[in-house]
Structure 1
C-alpha cells in the first residue's frame, strides 16, 4: 500500500537529535540518565496528538509508554508492542573519528553512539508514527509504544521494572518487535538475507571463588587460593563447548546453506560461516554455550598470600542449555573452587511463523525484491527477556538494508558507530508498510 505521506521524511533528523542527547549508561556508576531523551520523545509524540506517560524507578532513569489506538484500528486485535531503549553504552571521544554525540552525517552515514544500538529504530518508529498521525493513517492494530531506560545494564531500571511494577502497561500485548534483527546480509546482488531475531541466549554472570590459607609470601603454601582459582579460570576459558543447535539456529543455517548452495557438514560449519564475513562472529557465538573469564581479583600486597581469590565469568547458554551450562562449569572448576550466580536471565525463543512473520517478509520484499527473511539466535540480550515473562512473543525487527562492505556487527558498542542514511529511510518505509499488515 502506498500512502500520500512520506514515512521516512524525518527519520535521519530524528535519529540525529536523539544521538545528540547523551544517555550513556555506566551501570552502577552515576550517568546522565534517560530523562532528557524521554522528555524529547514524549514531546515528539505529543506534537501529533499521542499522549505519553513518563515512568521512572528513580530520578532520571525514565521510560516512555504511549498507547496509540486511533480511529480505524482493529480493536479486536491485541496491541503490538513496539519497543526501543533510550540508553547507550559509553563512548570515549578520543577513540572516534567523529565526536560520538555530535550526530554528524559523514560519507552518507549518520555517526554517533546509538546510531545502531538503538536510536536508529527509535527514530524509525517516531518518524512513521508521526507521519501516520498527521495523515490520519491508522495502523492495522493498536500500538503500544515503549521507549525504555537501562537496557544496556540488564533492564533492571527499565523493561524489567515495568513488568514488575507497571505490568498493565504491556500485559495486554501478545506480540512485540524491537532491536537486533531485520538487517540485511548480502549473499549476491539479487539475494539478501534479512536476519529476524526469534531467540536469544540466556545469561549467567558468575563469580568464581577460591578460599585458601593466608600467609607470608615467602613461605611454601599448598593451599593457595590464587593458584586454585587461576587453574580453574584457565580450564573454563579454554573449554571447547560442544555445538548445541537450536531450532532458530538450524533454520538460519539451512537458509545459509540454500543461499550459498552448499551442504552443511557439522564438522565444517565454522568454515561455511566464515563466508558470511563479520557477522560470523555473532553467529558463531550462538552455536553453543559460552563462558568467558572477564575479571580477576585477589590479594593486596606482593608478600601476602591472600585467603580468597575471585574471578568473574560471563556465561551465556542457548535455549534449553542452562542445566548443561552449570553442570559443565561445576566440573571445570573442580572441588577447590565454587561459583555464585551474580546475574541470571532466561534464554528466550519463539517460532518463526505466523501472520507477523509473513508481514515481515512481504514488507521487506516490497522495498527490496531480493529480500528473504530468516530467523536467527542472538548471543546477547535485549528487553525481550522482560516481555517474555508476560508470555509476549518478541521478534528483533529493525529493518535496515545495508551495504555489503559495512561491518554492521562491529558497530554494536564499537568505535565509530554509524548507520547509512539510506538504510534509515529504507527501514522507515518497511516499518510503515508493516504497520498496515501486522
Structure 2
C-alpha cells in the first residue's frame, strides 16, 4: 500500500493547473486507488476533462460525513521555484510542489486514511462520502457547483463535511493551537465598468472613463473597513486570550493581531469585510481616450454582512460605475459549539496532548459554500502538525509550496481516530 507521502507526490506530478488541461489524469489515479481497495468510485465530468470522483463507504450509521477536496491547483512559474512545481520531490522530509498544502496533501491524507482502514478491516462509525472535485480554484462551477445540482443523490444522508484550511498547528508557547474552521467569509468577485467619451489623448478630457475608474479603485483600496466581530471570531479571540494568559484588547485589534504574530493571523483578516482591486483593463493606444474601462475586485464579507458590504462598495464606486458579479457566494457557517466540533477537537488532542483546538473563520472560501446550499454544514479540518518555522499561510498559492511528510502522517492518524 502506498504511503501518504507517496500519494501526495503522485498527485502533485499531475499538472492540474486551473485554467489548464483539466483534472482527469489525477481523478483517474484517485479512482484507481479506491477501486483497487474495493471502494467503488463514481467518476463524472461537467465538461471535457473537468473530472470529479465521489465514493461512499458504508458505516455503522447511515447518517453520513463528507470529506471533500479539490484536485485542481493555481498556476506556478517553474523559474520562481527551488524545485519544479510539478516534481512532487521529497527533500529534507518535505513534499514539494504546487498543491502540497492546497490541497493535494489533504486529498492524500484522506486516501491514505481510507486505504488503511480497508486494509485493517475497519468500518467507519457512520457512512463516509469522499469527493475529489474539479475547479475549486475558479468558481467551482465545474466541480462542487455541478456536483450538488446534477449529482445531488451522491450526497444523500450527509449532514456535516470536513475539508481544507483548518486543523493545522500554530505554535503558542509550550502548546500548539489548532484552528478548526466553523465558517468562511462570503465571496463577491465583481467586474466594474466605467463608460465615458472617447477622444484624442492630447485634448482636454470630456469624460475619461480610465480616470473615473482609477479614482474609484483608489477609494476602494484606501477604505478602512470597520471591525465587525461575529460570534465565532469573538469566541476565537476569547480562547486565544485564555490560552496565552494575556487579555486581548478589543478596542485595538489590529495592534493586538500584530503583537500575537501567527496567532494574530487567525483573526486579522476575519474581523472585517475587505475588497481588493486585482485587475485593470482599459484602452488600446496611448493617444486615444477609450470609451470604457474595466476592473475586477475581489470582495469578501463576513456572515450576515452582505448587504452592508455591497452598500459600502456602491458608495465607494459612485454613480458612474456599474458592477456585475463574476461570482457571488454566501458566507456559510457551521454550528459552534457543537458535538461534532468536540469530536474534531478530541481527535486532535488524542494524537497531540499539547493541542489547543479553537474555533476559526476562514478569510477566503472553499467548496463548503456549494455544499452549504444543500444543507451540509462544513468545517475546515485538514489536520497537520507543522514545524514552527514553516509559514503555512505563505504556502497557499506561494512559491516553493511544500508540506512535511511527518505532518501528513499525523493528519492520517487524526482522521483515522475521527472516522473510527
Q: TM-score, normalised by structure 2?
A: 0.97
**1:5-56: CA deviation from partner (whole Å, max 9, x where unpaired):** x9xx711111111111111112xxxx22111111111111111111101010
Residue 10 (str. 1) matches residue 3 (str. 2): yes
Change (3 A) 1:434 1:199: same
Q: Are 2:60 and 2:123, in contact at CA under 8 Å, matched by a contact in 1?
A: no
SS in structure 1 at match of 2:50: coil
How far apart are the structure 1 equivalents of 2:282 and 2:224?
27
Closer, same or farther in 2 for the Cα pair 1:279/1:415, shift >3 Å?
A: farther
The 2-side partners of 1:208 and 1:141 are apart by 47
1:434 and 2:418 equivalent? yes
Q: Match of 2:137, SS? A: helix
Partner of 2:321: 337
Give 2:194's aligned residue: 210
Is 1:395 aligned with 2:361? no
Q: CA deviation at 1:394?
A: 0.5
Counterparts of 2:190 and 2:262 in 1: how far apart (Å)?
28
Between the aligned partners of 2:213 and 2:83, the Cα distance in structure 1 is: 42
* Cα separation, 1, equivalents of 2:27 and 2:325: 33
| Structure 2 residue 407 is the aligned partner of structure 1 residue 423 | yes
Q: Please name the residue that 2:137 is paired with.
A: 152
Residue 158 of structure 2: SS of its match in structure 1? coil
Of the three residues 74, 82, 86, the one matched with 2:60 is 74
Picking from 133, 150, 168, the partner of 1:165 is 150
CA distance in 2 between partners of 1:279 and 1:309 (Å): 41
The match for 2:42 is: 53
Task: Name the CA distance, whole Å, in 2 between partners of 1:275 and 1:185.
Answer: 15
Q: Which residue of 2 aligns with 1:37?
A: 26
Q: 1:117 is paired with a residue of what secondary structure?
A: coil
- Unaligned ranges ≥5, structure 1: 1-5
Structure 1 residues 221 and 32, CA, compared in 2 at 3 Å: closer, same or farther? closer
CA RMSD of aligned residues (A): 1.5
Name the SS of the counterpart of 1:429 in structure 2. helix
Maintained 8 Å contact 1:78/1:142: yes
For the pair 1:304 / 2:288, whether they are aligned, the reply is yes
* Change in 2 beyond 3 A, CA 1:276/1:97: farther
CA distance in 1, matches of 2:191, 2:415: 42
Output the CA distance in 2 between the equivalents of 1:186 and 1:421: 19
Q: CA–CA distance in 2 between the matches of 1:221 and 1:282?
A: 47
Where structure 2 has 5 or more consecutive residues not aligned to the other structure, the ranges are none
Report the CA distance between 1:342 and its aligned residue: 2.2
Tell me if the contact between 2:67 and 2:161 (Cα under 8 Å) persists in the aligned partners: yes
Structure 2 partner of 1:349: 333
Give 1:114's aligned residue: 99
Match of 2:82 among 97, 100, 118: 97
Name the CA distance, whole Å, in 2 between partners of 1:202 and 1:347: 4
The number of residues matched between the two structures is 420
Q: Deviations over 1:151-196 (max 9, x none)?
A: 111211000101111111113211111111100111012x111011
Tell me: CA distance 1:217–1:304, structure 2 relative to 1, closer, same or farther (3 Å): same
Indicate the larger mover: 412-421 or 273-282. Answer: 273-282
1:305-344 alpha-carbon deviations (Å, 9 max, x no partner): 1111121111111111110111101111112222222221
Q: 1:278, 1:409 within 8 Å by CA — same for their partners in 2?
A: no
Is the 8 Å Cα contact of residues 256 and 264 (structure 2) preserved in structure 1?
no
Say whether residues 1:20 and 2:10 are aligned partners: no
Give the secondary-structure state (helix, strand or coil) at the position aligned to 2:145.
helix
Structure 1 partner of 2:278: 294
Question: Take 1:116 and 1:124, find their aligned partners in 2: how far apart are those partners?
Answer: 11
Aligned match of 1:238: 222
Name the SS of the counterpart of 2:294 in structure 1.
Answer: strand
Query: 1:63 aligned to 2:47?
Result: no
Pair 1:247-2:231 in alignment: yes
**Which residue number corresponds to residue 86 of structure 1?**
71
Pairing partner for 1:277 from 243, 248, 261: 261
Matches within 5 A, 1:310-321: 310-321=294-305
Which residue of 197, 204, 220 maps to 2:181?
Answer: 197
Could you tell me whether the CA contact under 8 Å between 2:37 and 2:115 is conserved in 1? yes
More off after superposition, 335-344 vs 46-55:
335-344
Q: Which moved more, 1:348-357 or 1:32-41?
A: 348-357
Deviates more, 1:222-231 or 1:49-58: 222-231
TM-score (norm 1): 0.93
Secondary structure at the aligned position of 1:267 is classed as: coil
Q: How far does residue 282 in structure 1 lie from its aligned partner after superposition?
A: 5.9
- Using the TM superposition, give the Cα deviation of residue 279 of structure 1 relative to its aligned residue in structure 2, in angstroms: 6.3
